Amino acid sequence: MTGPGLALALLLALPVFSSTPGCAQDAHGPGAALRTIWKRLSGERLPAEIVSTNGRLEAEQVLVSAKFAGRVSQVLVEEGQTVDAGAVVARMDTAELDAQLLGAQAQVRRAERAAAEAEAAIAQRESERVLAKQEFERASTLAQRGYGTVQQLDQRRSQMDAAEAGYRAASASLDAAEASADAARAEVARIQSQLTDSVLLAPRRGRVEYKLVQSGEVVAAGAPIATLLDLADVYMTVFLPARVAGRLALGGEARIVLDPAPDLVVPATVSFVATEAQFTPKTVETADEREKLMFRVKLRIAPALLKQYESLVKVGVRGLAYVRTDTKTPWPAALAVKLPQ
């Protein structure tokens, strides 16, 4: 016996279940389940262009992980807690980084002081170079007029060359000091970046699914600290045969009816259709075998709707999904959108 006949037989058996104390008052007991089956089997038949299948709600998972190895100082979230984007999830111990930062800042000050001394030395060497050049020019003029000796001229030339060399050395010292200062500042920036990364933030608004580490634990680089569920990206994953999946339009309307709330109809859209079959056989030759191919399809719920009913969103909930292979086919009255009041 199938279809409405089976549902009628089950409905007639309700007194048997209801005879158990408390069953008649249980809105979620066998009686309610059988009445739901009766409504679905005896209701309006779906058009051929509307296909139903089973699925479950899922959400995109976001891992909040430690960028560097170290000790977790604090984990500030609990499982089930909803956090906003940018909220602090955990903090790493930064005692070692704080000490490194102080050392790097001292290196910056030392390099800046060396640069200042090099600038002062350049000014002094420039003055010496100008004076040595002037004295050489005077000695050269006197030698040309016969009032100076060659020895004096050579001496002034040597002094001028020494002053020029001293100037170039001072300039090189300034370049070295400035390079050291730049390297020290870069080290400060690197450590400050590590300190910033030591505060683990939620990359987006979501619900904490798993708290994977406790305060005080030592973790490796990249170790996950907590798992968030993105409450703005919730969808139902279903599997459909090739003849149905091939006719779906991305962005097309769909409907979701969840098992815990069979009286509600949630709107969704087709956001993804797999390009390869998920079930074996993957390579087929006959039409009968092609019917066995199943493709993964995602039915996404609008973020605005999810935000409106955020407290009611739960992943892992099973239910029925309805998709249309022809967008011109109207939805039956039983699948009109119906949301919680």
Which of 16-25, 91-100, 122-131, 163-172 is predicted least confidently?
A: 16-25
> Mean pLDDT across the stretch 271-282?
75
> Mean pLDDT across the stretch 191-210?
94
Do 136 and 160 touch, CB atoms closer than 8 A?
yes
Helix or strand (DSSP H, E) at 227: strand 224-241
CATH of the domain at 73: 2.40.50.100
What pLDDT sits at residue 30? Answer: 43
User: Has residue 299 got a pLDDT over 90?
Assistant: yes
- What mean pLDDT is reported for the chain? 81
User: CA 173, 177, 183 angle in degrees (round to 5)?
Assistant: 145
Convert the pLDDT of each residue in 43-96 to its tens digit. Answer: 457 888 999 999 999 999 999 999 999 999 999 999 999 999 999 999 999 999
Q: Is residue 32 part of a domain?
A: no
- Spatial separation of the C-alpha atoms in residues 217 and 227, rounded to whole Å: 17
- Spatial separation of the C-alpha atoms in residues 81 and 100, rounded to whole Å: 35
The burial of 305, by beta-carbon neighbours within 10 Å (0-12 exposed, 13-18 middle, 19 or more buried), is given as middle
- Spatial separation of the C-alpha atoms in residues 278 and 241, rounded to whole Å: 10
User: CA 102, 104, 106 angle in degrees (round to 5)?
Assistant: 70
What pLDDT sits at residue 31? Answer: 42
Domain that holds residue 77: 64-94+201-219
> Mean pLDDT across the stretch 243-271?
92
- Spatial separation of the C-alpha atoms in residues 78 and 254, rounded to whole Å: 34
Q: What percent of the residues of the chain are helix, what percent strand, and what percent coil, each to the nearest 5?
A: 45, 25, 30
User: Has residue 280 got a pLDDT over 60?
Assistant: no
116 CB-near residues (< 8 Å, 6+ apart) = none
Per DSSP, what are the bridge partners of residue 322? 52, 255
What pLDDT sits at residue 290? Answer: 54
Regarding predicted confidence, which is higher, 21 or 184? 184
Instruction: DSSP for 151-178, please give it.
Output: HHHHHHHHHHHHHHHHHHHHHHHHHHHH
Phi, psi dihedral angles at 214 (to 5 degrees): -105, 160
Percent of the chain with pLDDT over 90: 48
Q: Is residue 278 part of a domain?
A: no
Domain boundary among 189, 219, 249: 219
Do 313 and 306 touch, CB atoms closer than 8 A?
yes
**C-alpha 185 chain-centroid distance:** 30
Q: Is residue 27 part of a domain?
A: no
Signed CA dihedral, 288, 292, 295, 297: sign only? positive
The amino acid present at 36, given as its one-letter code, is T
Q: Is residue 119 part of a domain?
A: yes
- Residue corresponding to tokens 């906003």: 84
**Among residues 215, 213, 245, 221, which one has the least CA distance to residue 321?**
245
User: Has residue 324 got a pLDDT over 80?
Assistant: yes
User: Has residue 193 got a pLDDT over 50?
Assistant: yes
- Spatial separation of the C-alpha atoms in residues 210 and 87, rounded to whole Å: 16
Q: Is residue 238 part of a domain?
A: no
Both 88 and 100 in one domain: the answer is: no
- Spatial separation of the C-alpha atoms in residues 102 and 94, rounded to whole Å: 12
What pLDDT sits at residue 341? Answer: 79
Q: Is residue 23 part of a domain?
A: no
> Mean pLDDT across the stretch 252-280?
89
What pLDDT sits at residue 5? Answer: 43
The amino acid present at 261, given as its one-letter code, is A
What pLDDT sits at residue 88? Answer: 96
User: Has residue 124 got a pLDDT over 90?
Assistant: no
User: Has residue 122 got a pLDDT over 70?
Assistant: yes
- Spatial separation of the C-alpha atoms in residues 181 and 152, rounded to whole Å: 43
User: Has residue 35 got a pLDDT over 60?
Assistant: no
Convert the pLDDT of each residue in 132-188 to its tens digit. Answer: 777 777 777 777 777 767 777 677 777 777 777 777 778 777 888 888 888 999 999
What pLDDT sits at residue 59? Answer: 93
Both 135 and 161 in one domain: the answer is: yes
Structural domain count, the chain: 2
Both 144 and 172 in one domain: the answer is: yes
Both 86 and 131 in one domain: the answer is: no
User: Has residue 258 got a pLDDT over 90?
Assistant: yes
Both 124 and 213 in one domain: the answer is: no
> Mean pLDDT across the stretch 101-111?
92
